[in-house]
Amino acid sequence: MSKHYQFESFLSMTGANADERFNHRSSETGAVVAALAAAVGVSVAAPAISNAKVKAGIDKVAKDLLANKGQGLVICGSNDVNIQLLVNAINNAIGAYGTTIDWSAPLNYRQAIDKDFSDLLTEIENGTVGTLMIYGANPVYTWPEQDRVKKALSKVKLKISFAEKLDEISELSDYLVPTHHFLESWGDGEATTGSIGFLQPTIAPLFKTRQWQETLMVWAGKTEPYADFFKNFWVSRLGGETAFLKVLQDGVSLTRGEAAISGGSYSAAGIEGAVAAVNAIPKSSKKEVVLYQSNALGSGTHPANPWLQELPDPITKITWDNYAMISVSTADELKIDYKSNDYEYYPQKPIIAVKVKGKELKLPIIVVPGMDNNTIAVALGYGRTPSLGTTYVDEHREDKKVGVDVYPLSSFNGTSVNLYTIDAELTNTGENYKLAQTQIHNSYEGRVEVVKETTLATFLKDKEHYADDAKHLYETYTKKKGATRADYIKSGTLYAEHEPQGLKWGMSIDMNACFGCGACVIACHAENNVPVVGKSEVLRYHDMHWLRIDRYYVSDENDPNDLKGVIFQPMMCQHCDNAPCENVCPVAATNHSDEGLNQMAYNRCIGTRYCANNCPYKVRRFNWLDYTGADSFPNNQDQTVVGKLDPAVFHMNDDLTRMVLNPDVTVRSRGVMEKCSMCVQRLQHAKLDAKKEGVPLKDKHIRLACSSACAADAIVFGNINDPESAITKEREDNPLRTFYVLEQLHVLPNVNYLAKIRNTDEIIGGDDHHGAAEGHGAEAGHEAKPAAEGAHH
């Protein structure tokens, strides 16, 4: 099994998936890397690491990397070139070149050089720039010195911005040239060398816009349309129209194929300088602020997308805001009682003032275990100008902004932008701010029927443990020795049993593979017309996500800051065969299909909510208000006393935005219960496809929104009556990790989970094993995960 170590200063999503984590200050990243370099045999002087835990961690990682030469990989999360040079040295020393690193297929994105922009800024200030054309960049917002950029721009005579929609820099430009939306555009990309992807228009332009490339061509006096130019370019590069059309049809061309891995060449030149530079990185004894790109909004390019705004953060489960993630000990220092009911059960969270570089920002906090004690973390990408769009507005705030813009806390160090800052001072303002969380409780309370997780060594010691648990349940329940799940299914209900014939749908979710990103949540949103409810309604616990990712912290009870691990558990309707929701609905609006689906007849639903109460998984979502404008009451979205809706909801309901609705899925009206349907519209489609082909329905016909969006293939879905289906194989291949959540309730879910196994020495949940380290490397593999160093995602 692979092993993933993480050194970082705050709990990132990547770190949350690590087998073992170590916390350090951001300003210490260089020192940690240098120490690791020294420990793996790079000839550099090891700096002193004061934190004993981190120091021990470095030694341990070095030992593991050296013991598994050619199988490890160290990834650098810093944009500091000197640190990157040291990481290269480490990778060279541990034999990663040509084994885990392939130099022949480099990644081609994130190639921007901060210094180039800084130089441009100087040139503008010197008055040597006459015309500035801007596309896909918004430095008025993203550059550390926003005011300087604004001032500089005023010196440029002609500023032309090509943009899909108004942004901060377009506002300051002389001309705004509206360009196509990506769905209206031609385009191409090469993410890794040799992997070509095409973009082609899927809709006719909605507005009077023109693709920016075409505009440039017109201005340059070319008469050829961009589409032709695009085609001619690729026809000649791909060697013929047939090849071009094939890539166009497939969308991608993976021409690289199975080429040999290239080791590249390593040069140790510059290491000495790098070490010296790293040692010179300023440090402080005060707090540090680390700025990260949030999972949903990234650098802040897409706040106009309410799906992203409403996507709960993988770690904090907060929507529609950024905030300061602070450690448990920092909370203690600030006298924040994070253990109180007030903190957990009410959305009001304390506001702290962060004083740094002569600036003061007020930020609401959220207490997170597994943070470096001296670091607070704040997401970038928030606090965009409210006048730019409906979803940029939070009406409840004085400044009307969604979150706080923390770009001003970043700084340019001469070569790159520092996304952390030292010398921060924190004070508790005594004020409160409502943060809209979709989950408020962080521990799974040792409920082993809900979450099954263990360490590799414990698992290997007692491989049958989970299977035995299930067997014990089946035997005690049926009062029959050697009872199986089939016996368990047959027993215990008064009603006649449904013989599964033909199709019977099932899903398996691998908790080892899921890393909590939430792509499935967005996919589900888009596919199933799941309404956006806005921050005001998320605050009332009215979020509508059919699919959510439950996140639990596993912490030491005596030391809440000592995070042992994080669990991500995608949770959606479990499509129980003995469903507690079905028998309580007075009008049979929710009922069972003969394919094992628990289905909702929206038209029949009268909204008693009894089904949601009786759902042990709490996956049912009720249309509390008229989120979609789909009911027949006129003007009933204008509540003022209770349940005032945010502009985002209205935004989702305007004629333009409604174009995102999936025409295959009913838009539910107010007063109706809804939940995961297993993308039943896609299943129907698949059945028709198979029928048209005249073949039995197979896996290839079925693509659920969530499982197709999952980068880790954590969600496997299919027909369990088909012996060749992926779901059948997944369950057959993993009999020792397969479990059903709350199986003891005899609700007979059709969704199973695969237990999470961590490759760690850390003792979790009373495991009494020691020394699991022998398990790492390439043995007993699921997908290989690289060990990572300091990866700030």
Partner 1 sequence: MSLIRYESQARAPLVEGNKTYHDVTEDICRPVEAKPSKLWWVGFIISLGLLGFGVVSIYMDIVYGTGQWNLNKTIGWGWDITNFVWWVGIGHAGTLISAILLLFRQGWRTGVNRAAEAMTIFAVMCAGQFPIWHMGRVWNGFFVMPYPNTRGPLWVNFNSPLLWDVFAISTYFTVSLLFWYSGLLPDLATLRDRAKLKWSKFFYGLAAFGWTGSTKHWQRHEALSLVLAGLSTPLVLSVHTIVSFDFATSVIPGWHTTIFPPYFVAGAVFSGFAMVQTLLLITRKVLALEQYITMEHIDVMNKVIVLTGSIVGIAYLTELFMSWYSASPYEWFAFKENRLNVNSPYGWSYWLMMGCNVLSPQIFWFRKMRRNILVTFFMSILVNIGMWFERFVIIVTSLYRDYLPSSWSTYYTPTIWEIGFYMGTFGLFFTCYFLFSKFFPVIAIAEIKHILKKNGDSYKAAYAKEEMESYDEFEHNQSHHH
Contacting positions for partner 1 (CB under 8 A) = 341, 345-347, 439-445, 447, 450, 537, 540-543, 548, 550-552, 569, 571, 580, 583-588, 604-610, 612-614, 616-618, 620-626, 631, 633, 636, 639, 641-643, 669-673, 741-742, 745, 747
Compute the distance between CA of residue 686 and CA of residue 699 in angstroms, rounded to an integer: 9
How many CB atoms are located within 10 Å of the residue 591 CB? 17
- Cβ nearer to partner 1, comparing 109 with 345: 345
Shortest distance, CB of residue 578 to partner 1, whole angstroms? 10
Radius of gyration, alpha carbons of the chain: 28
From the list 157, 162, 159, the residue with the least C-alpha distance to 211 is: 162
- Cβ nearer to partner 1, comparing 354 with 585: 585
Shortest distance, CB of residue 604 to partner 1, whole angstroms? 7
Compute the distance between CA of residue 718 and CA of residue 383 in angstroms, rounded to an integer: 43
Shortest distance, CB of residue 710 to partner 1, whole angstroms? 19
Q: What is the DSSP letter of 28?
A: G
User: Angle CA(603)–CA(606)–CA(610) in degrees, nearest 5?
Assistant: 125
Contact 653, 610 (CB under 8 A): no
Task: Please report which helix (H) or strand (E) contains residue 307, including its range.
Answer: helix 306-309
Shortest distance, CB of residue 730 to partner 1, whole angstroms? 23
Shortest distance, CB of residue 507 to partner 1, whole angstroms? 17
- Cβ nearer to partner 1, comparing 275 with 579: 579
Shortest distance, CB of residue 475 to partner 1, whole angstroms? 17
Shortest distance, CB of residue 317 to partner 1, whole angstroms? 9
- Amino acid identity for residue 135 in this structure: Y
Shortest distance, CB of residue 168 to partner 1, whole angstroms? 35
- Cβ nearer to partner 1, comparing 119 with 344: 344
Calculate helix-pair angle for 81-93, 271-279, nearest 10 degrees: 130
How many CB atoms are located within 10 Å of the residue 102 CB? 17
Shortest distance, CB of residue 170 to partner 1, whole angstroms? 37
Token digits of residue 527 = 């596919």
- Amino acid identity for residue 343 in this structure: Y
- Cβ nearer to partner 1, comparing 675 with 758: 675
- Cβ nearer to partner 1, comparing 21 with 620: 620
- Cβ nearer to partner 1, comparing 173 with 598: 598
- Cβ nearer to partner 1, comparing 115 with 592: 592
Task: Please report which helix (H) or strand (E) contains residue 316, including its range.
Answer: none
Checking DSSP bridges between strand 505-510 and strand 715-719, what pairing results, if any?
antiparallel
Shortest distance, CB of residue 630 to partner 1, whole angstroms? 12
Token digits of residue 478 = 């049926």
Checking DSSP bridges between strand 20-23 and strand 621-622, what pairing results, if any?
unpaired
Q: What is the DSSP letter of 739?
A: E
- Cβ nearer to partner 1, comparing 229 with 602: 602
List the 505-510 sheet strands across, edge first. 715-719, 505-510, 751-754, 738-739
- In terms of residues, how long is the chain? 793
Q: Which residues of 212-251 are buried (b: 16+ CB within 10 A; e: fewer)?
A: bbbbbbeeeeeeeebeeebbeebeeebeeeeebeebeeee
Shortest distance, CB of residue 106 to partner 1, whole angstroms? 40
Contact 668, 674 (CB under 8 A): yes
Query: Phi and psi at residue 218, in whole multiples of 5°?
Result: -60, -45
Tally: H helices and E strands in the chain:
26, 30
- Cβ nearer to partner 1, comparing 330 with 569: 569
Compute the distance between CA of residue 667 and CA of residue 684 in angstroms, rounded to an integer: 18
Compute the distance between CA of residue 3 and CA of residue 117 in angstroms, rounded to an integer: 39
- Cβ nearer to partner 1, comparing 7 with 739: 739
Task: Please report which helix (H) or strand (E) contains residue 36, including its range.
Answer: helix 29-39
Shortest distance, CB of residue 542 to partner 1, whole angstroms? 6
Shortest distance, CB of residue 528 to partner 1, whole angstroms? 16
Shortest distance, CB of residue 569 to partner 1, whole angstroms? 8
DSSP 208-253: S---HHHHHHHHTT--S-HHHHHHHHHHHHHTSHHHHHHHHHHSEE
End-to-end CA distance of the chain: 23
From the list 210, 203, 164, the residue with the least C-alpha distance to 184 is: 203
- Cβ nearer to partner 1, comparing 245 with 584: 584
- Cβ nearer to partner 1, comparing 389 with 534: 534
Compute the distance between CA of residue 413 and CA of residue 630 in angstroms, rounded to an integer: 53
Calculate helix-pair angle for 114-125, 146-153, nearest 10 degrees: 50
Shortest distance, CB of residue 474 to partner 1, whole angstroms? 18
CA atoms 215, 216, 217, 220: torsion sign: positive
Shortest distance, CB of residue 21 to partner 1, whole angstroms? 22
Shortest distance, CB of residue 554 to partner 1, whole angstroms? 12
Checking DSSP bridges between strand 738-739 and strand 751-754, what pairing results, if any?
antiparallel
Shortest distance, CB of residue 738 to partner 1, whole angstroms? 19
From the list 333, 367, 374, 335, the residue with the least C-alpha distance to 349 is: 367
Contact 184, 226 (CB under 8 A): no
How far is residue 45 CA from its own chain's centroid?
Answer: 38
- Cβ nearer to partner 1, comparing 184 with 543: 543
- Cβ nearer to partner 1, comparing 78 with 623: 623
How many CB atoms are located within 10 Å of the residue 96 CB? 22
- Cβ nearer to partner 1, comparing 43 with 340: 340
- Cβ nearer to partner 1, comparing 542 with 737: 542
- Cβ nearer to partner 1, comparing 404 with 605: 605
Compute the distance between CA of residue 2 and CA of residue 580 in angstroms, rounded to an integer: 40
